[in-house]
Structure 1
Amino acid sequence: MSSDRPAPSPLVARGLDVLRLSGVRATGHHGVFDHERRDGQEFVVDAVVHLDTTAAAAADELDRTVHYGVLAEQIVAAVENDPVDLIETLAERLAGVVLAFPAAARAEITVHKPGAPITVPFGDVSITIVRERA
């Protein structure tokens, strides 16, 4: 008998849960052009954190999971500081922010640059990277 439901991802099948933090907005001065560095622009970040929340839920203890409020603040700080040329570099930095939480096993980061200097009409440009704890 076949099922219409998609199979769970391998990480969820292994017992990892998913925390999603979407649409975190911050102004950064990233880019290869002088005006991007000088004027800054908005970046939008989506973070997907894979973690096992069993211990946190059983103990009802915040320090056993990823505090999404703190994560959001740290993402904003990472976007606002230390300009880099590439959104790929920024995404790598943000994955490190996520993986600094002891409960985080895997980070999926998408950095959107809606104001990218592109000369044709477009809706969005983004990069998504996936990193796992070593």
Structure 2
Amino acid sequence: MADRIELTGLECFGYHGVFPEEKREGQPFIVDVTCWTEFPTTDDLAGTVNYAELADVAATIVEGPSRDLIETVANEVAETIMQRFDLLHAVEVTIHKPKAPIPRTFADVAVVARRSRKKMG
């Protein structure tokens, strides 16, 4: 399981958070997705994961219905990717919330969800 596809820095805008202003005003979220698979031996897109589809799945969820926790968002992205792309052995989804309402100076807040076929059944 050494081959992987990485989608990094996917910029989305969502309304996730526990505070009313987060749900009302929204904020940027950055998504990173790493997928473990085996690369095809032929030069055919059908034998691998389409990056555009991967980005669409992640963005649709992050830009979708409001959730209190970004942990919930990361879980939904990871589960949906594993269900949609049969060629994947595992996925790791990182949701960054760089504008989280923290009254301290910080560079980033992120959560990571990992899923694999072994855990899924």
Question: What is aligned with 2:110?
Answer: 126
| Alpha-carbon distance between aligned partners in 2 of 1:61 and 1:93, rounded to the nearest angstrom | 29
Residue-by-residue CA offset, 1:32-55 (whole Å, 9 max, x unaligned): 0100001111000000000011xx
State the aligned residue count: 117
Give the structure with higher Rg (CA): 1
Q: TM-score, normalised by structure 1?
A: 0.83
Question: What is aligned with 2:98?
Answer: 114
Question: What is aligned with 2:53?
Answer: 70
Aligned-pair RMSD on alpha carbons? 1.1
Three-state SS of the structure 2 residue aligned to 1:108 is strand
Task: Give the 4+ runs in structure 1 shifted more than 6 A.
Answer: none
Query: What are structure 2's unaligned runs of at least 5 residues?
Result: none
Three-state SS of the structure 1 residue aligned to 2:81 is helix
Where do 1:1-134 residues align within 5 Å? 11-12=1-2, 17-53=3-39, 56=40, 58-99=41-82, 100-133=84-117, 134=120
Q: TM-score, normalised by structure 2?
A: 0.91
1:60 Cα offset (Å): 1.9
